[in-house]
Structures are given as structure tokens and as C-alpha cells.
Amino acid sequence: MEIEVLAKPAGTLCPHNSGIGCTIYAERPDACARWHCLWRKIGALPDALRPDRSGVVFALERSSPDAEARQGACIVGRAVEDEQAFERWEATEAFAMFIREGSLPVWKATAQAATLMDAGRHAEHR
């Protein structure tokens, strides 16, 4: 999400993310204090999918990470530190679970590209 007070644009990892937490947690802006990743919002998700353990943060977003794609609510998975986290079983299973659930488009996003995930196929957008 965009955080104006931090000059953080949408779709980018916050510069205050240390990989294991927020470096300004005690003084974080109100927008950050109110935001929760899907691991915190969906009680049935296992501890292995906690972002600091899986390496991927999943969020419900108001628009797709690709400006050229159809806009609307979607689920976006972003690597916390590096894209190798997408290859871990925890992330692979989480993407598969969100795709199986099927109510929203599911995106895998990096700084360079966003990939729309779908059961058995995907389309990459740059």
C-alpha cells in the first residue's frame, strides 16, 4: 500500500522493513498500525505462513499490481527479502490455496514484474 507520510509508493517494500520486523514499529504511522497481512486476518493459516517464516507477505489489495491489468480487489504475494522465497513450500502452498479458493485474482509480485496466477496457467505482465 502507499504510505504518504513515509513517501512509500504502493507496490514497493517499505524501507523500514528489516526482514524480521519494522524498524520504526513504536513510531509507525497510523496507516501501518491499522494494516494487517492476510496471515493475521485469516486465523486458519498455519504459523509456517507467517511472513517472517515463509518469506512472503500476502495482502488483500484494492487494485492489481499491474496498471495494465483489469483492476479490482485481489490477493498479492510479495517476497519479504528476495524472490527465492517464492520457491519455498510454504509460499507455493499459500499461492495454491488462494487460487483454489477462487474468489479473487491472485498475483505474485516483484519489483520487476507481476504475474497473475491461475490454476494451470499464468500470464506475466511487465
Task: Indicate the average pLDDT of the chain.
Answer: 84
The per-residue pLDDT for 68 is 79
Percentages helix, strand, coil for the chain (3-state, rounded to 5) are 30, 25, 45
The per-residue pLDDT for 24 is 94
37 burial level (CB within 10 Å; 0-12, 13-18, 19+): middle
Q: Over the stretch 45-62, which tens digit does the pLDDT of each residue have?
A: 889 888 888 889 999 988
Answer whether 0.95 is exceeded by the pTM. Answer: no
Average pLDDT over residues 6-23: 83
